[in-house]
Amino acid sequence: MTRRPASRAVPLLLGAALVIGAGVVTAVTGPEASLLDPFTVGAADDGTATARTLAAEVTEVTRTERVTVAGSEWEAEGDWLVIELAVSAPTTEEDAAIGVASLLVDGRLFQASERPPATLVGTDLRVGTDTVGMVAFELPADLRSGTAELRLSGRYPTPELDDVIVFPIDLADAATASAVEIEEPRLGAP
């Protein structure tokens, strides 16, 4: 008894379909770490983003080649992006602070520079009153355009399954200045 060619092809086709199916399932399954990614919170219409432990607004973005700090001899040259923020605590002042400020550009993750003696990172925040301060990012000289993501998290290190505030920042649109003086964080308008 001879089998028809069509019936001989069935197991081959089935096998191929199973292999392709397995490949598709593997491709669409996210990495294990993505199950624990933080939740991103964007800005509302008024420019303020409110996460579980932080409420923040970007007030000024400046690119500069020289940063100084008020009342300090420290200064540095390079390619800097200085971001001024108004931040407050939405519900409680306990442990309310920016734990990590990072900038995601072009797949590279920068952290707010530890070099300037004045920074908003780690400053105690108040409920109902903005704390205005600056974070500075030191970037490579070749990074002059593109869209960056400013990420603020209320804890250190960046938490899992908790809020992280994300602001889009256009590097090409940022104001430029020959020098920027970084000020100590101060209490702003309530």
Partner 1 sequence: MAAGVRDAAAGATRTALSRRALPFWIVAAAIIGLLAGFIGFGGLAPASRTPAIVTAGDEARTSLYTVTVLDTEITDAVESQFLEAEPGETLLLVTVRLENLSDRAVGVDRSADRVESRMITGREPLLELSGVTPTGTARSWRADESRPAVILQPGVPADVTIAWPISDDDAAAFDEGTVRLDAYDAVEQSGQVILSASTITWRRSELSAQLDLEAAP
Burial, 163: exposed, middle or buried (Cβ in 10 Å; 0-12, 13-18, 19+)?
A: buried
**157 scored as a contact of partner 1 (CB under 8 A):** yes
CB-wise, 11 or 107, nearer to partner 1? Answer: 107
Quote the distance between the C-alpha of residue 19 and its chain's center. Answer: 39
Please select the residue that binds partner 1; options are 21, 71, 128, 140, rule is CB under 8 A. Answer: 140
Which range binds partner 1 by CB under 8 A, 48-56, 89-97, 156-164, 178-186?
156-164
For residue 129, the minimal CB distance to partner 1 (Å) is 27
Residues within window 100-129 making contact with partner 1, judged by CB under 8 A: 100, 102, 107-111, 113-117
Place of tokens 């933080």: 38
Q: Point out which span in 13-21, 30-38, 42-50, 170-178 binds partner 1 (CB under 8 A).
A: 30-38
Q: How many residues does the chain have?
A: 190
Which H or E run contains 86?
strand 75-88
Write down the residue that tokens 């579980």 correspond to.
52
Assess 143 for contact with partner 1 (CB under 8 A).
yes
Say if residues 103 and 110 touch (Cβ distance below 8 Å).
yes
